[in-house]
Amino acid sequence: MNDELWKNSACTVVDALLSKTIKPTDVLNSLELRCASVNKTINALPTLCFDRAYDSALKIEAKAETVAGHDSGYPFYGLPIPIKDSYKVAGVRTTFGSLAFENYIPDCSDIIVQIIEKAGGIIYAKSNTPEFEAGASTFNEIFGFTRNPWNTLYSAGGSSGGAAASVASGMACIAQGSDFACSLRYPAAFCGVVGLRPTPGLIPQGPGKLSYQSLSVLGPIARTVNDIGLAMDGFCGFDPRDALSSPVKYPPNVFRQATESPTAPKSFAYSPDLGQAVVSKEVKEIVNHAVNKLSSHGPNMASEHPELDECHEAFNTLRAFQFATVWGDVMIANQDKLKPEVVWNIKKGFELDASALSKAEHLRSDLRLKMIAFLDQHNFLITPATPVTPPKVEERFVKSIEGEEMKTYLDWLALGYAITITGCPTIALPCGKNKMGLPVGLQITGRPYDELNLLKFAAWVENILIEEMACEKNDLISSI
């Protein structure tokens, strides 16, 4: 039976670990077998480090003291978790998806890895990512394409595509990812799982070259909202090396407890495109049906969206600045090794002047205030999580939607980055499938630092839509 532990939710596995009915090595054994079965096909976890993981597991099992109950402050207690290949794990190959770092093995781990391990998580793999997390399609020149577990001809999304595909295929219970424009939400939607982009500062990151940036944040991917809550209990924390790290100390198990209390608000707003994105008719139809189902269960729905017209200029400018700041020196030394989209983005950053940056920051501040005022009125904002269903795996990026051409590799990401620029937390979760059986997701945006209520609403939404989709939560593992 232990070889099928991979089929269980993260919460079920952790409860069994805490009760000592199973051991961390049992979970690792199951996941190792599952990886051997499907990883070659999906290519979600290109770097495995099971030897390191078993060492960690045996140390946990050998602990003399008894760790009792969920209030121990040790929320993972031996749960294996893969780390995105853009974050350093000491002694484990970390490539950032780039030929410039093809053989890089760091001496020390990033803060998020230290926090996960302190919480009892065991690192056993690195998940695939596009070069420097650039783009919403997961491929690179080192490891190749990550494929969608529901249909391997299609994309798993990006940049946390390896993380989402590993969870959807049963190679992980939860996975660590990150989100700049849409990098937790698009992969979650394409793979039929759940991805949370939290408020900047809740999950510490770095140390890095741009300590005060708030566009890129870390977050979890899981099969259920309940598992997202568990992940947040283990991912959140304070570290002074992250300049934006929040010193708020949450009680043990508080995020998981929130997901166990599904709650619908009195009202929410819905927009099929935020007034900013081109969205396919297919996605609109599926999400509209799901949202109408939610509204029929009580909450009042307002068909409105905040005014976010300046989101494109603000995001594109600040993204270019961030790419130039973080990766500019790498491009100067290794331009021939970088993909053209990355080179273009870095060069755009080099071309910026103070007036462009000043304007972008002013726009960002205005956009945030508009979104907060809107949420104060409507509680939550629901939109499609992606503008299209998963594209073919070989597509570098979506170039046309409903006949409208996308001018750059960023244009099809507007549904994601329009939220990113406001700094509000947002969660993507499944809401249906298209005629080919490929998942479609919606995203729910809430107020900054209001993750607990966002998770309560998301859990309620999940319960309604799982019933509508006529499946059990654990059926969200693909049948591959």
CA dist., res. 171 & res. 38, Å (int): 8
Which stretches of the chain score pLDDT less than 50? 1, 64, 66
- Report residue 63 as tokens: 């602990």
The neighbouring-strand residues paired with 426 are 197, 445
CA dist., res. 267 & res. 298, Å (int): 8
Asked if 183 is an active-site residue, the reply is yes
Q: Which of 192, 155, 147 is nearest to 395 (CA)?
A: 155
Beta-carbon-side half-sphere exposure of residue 470 (alpha carbons within 13 Å): 1
CA dist., res. 430 & res. 444, Å (int): 11
CA dist., res. 258 & res. 284, Å (int): 29
CA dist., res. 303 & res. 3, Å (int): 48
Q: How far is CA 305 from CA 259, 293, 377, 440, in A?
A: 26, 19, 11, 21
- Residue 72, pLDDT score: 58
The neighbouring-strand residues paired with 84 are 127
- Residue 19, pLDDT score: 93
Catalytic residue among 9, 56, 137, 159: 159
Q: Residue by residue, what is the 3-state secondary structure of the chain?
A: CHHHHHHCCHHHHHHHHHCCCCCHHHHHHHHHHHHHHHHHHHCCCCEECHHHHHHHHHHHHCCCCCCCCHHHCCCCCCCEEEEECCCCCCCCCCCCCCHHHCCCCCCCCCHHHHHHHHCCCEEEEEECCCHHHCCCCCEECCCEECEECCEEEEECCCCCHHHHHHHHCCCCCEEEEEECCCCCHHHHHHHCCEEEECCCCCCCCCCCCCCCCCCCEEEEEECCHHHHHHHHHHHCCCCCCCCCCCCCCCCCCHHHHHHCCCCCCCEEEECCCCCCCCCCHHHHHHHHHHHHHHHCCCCEEECCCCCCCCHHHHHHHHHHHHHHHHHHHHHHHHHHHCCHHHHHHHHHHHCCCHHHHHHHHHHHHHHHHHHHHHHHHHCCEEEECCCCCCCECCCCCCCEECCEECCCCCHHHHHHHHHHCCCCCEEEEEEEECCCCCEEEEEEECCCCCHHHHHHHHHHHHHHHHHHHCCCHHHHCCCC
Q: Which of 223, 209, 146 is nearest to 394 (CA)?
A: 146
- Report residue 173 as tokens: 């219970």
CA dist., res. 149 & res. 170, Å (int): 10
- pTM value surpassing 0.75: yes
Catalytic residue among 137, 155, 183, 216: 183
- Residue 74, pLDDT score: 82
Class of domain 2-476: alpha beta
Asked if 159 is an active-site residue, the reply is yes
The owner of tokens 């960690």 is 56
Catalytic residue among 9, 30, 56, 84: 84
Asked if 281 is an active-site residue, the reply is no
CB-based burial, 86-116: b 16+ in 10 Å, e otherwise:
bbbbbebbbbbbbbbbeeeebeebbbbbbbb
Cβ-proximal residues to 167 (8 Å cutoff; 6+ apart), any chain: 173, 174, 175, 191, 193, 221, 222, 223
- Report residue 4 as tokens: 């099928």
The neighbouring-strand residues paired with 384 are 442
Helices 225-235 & 111-118 angle (0-180, nearest 10): 100
Answer whether 84's CB lies under 8 Å from 129's CB.
yes
Question: In the chain, where are the structural domains located?
Answer: 2-476
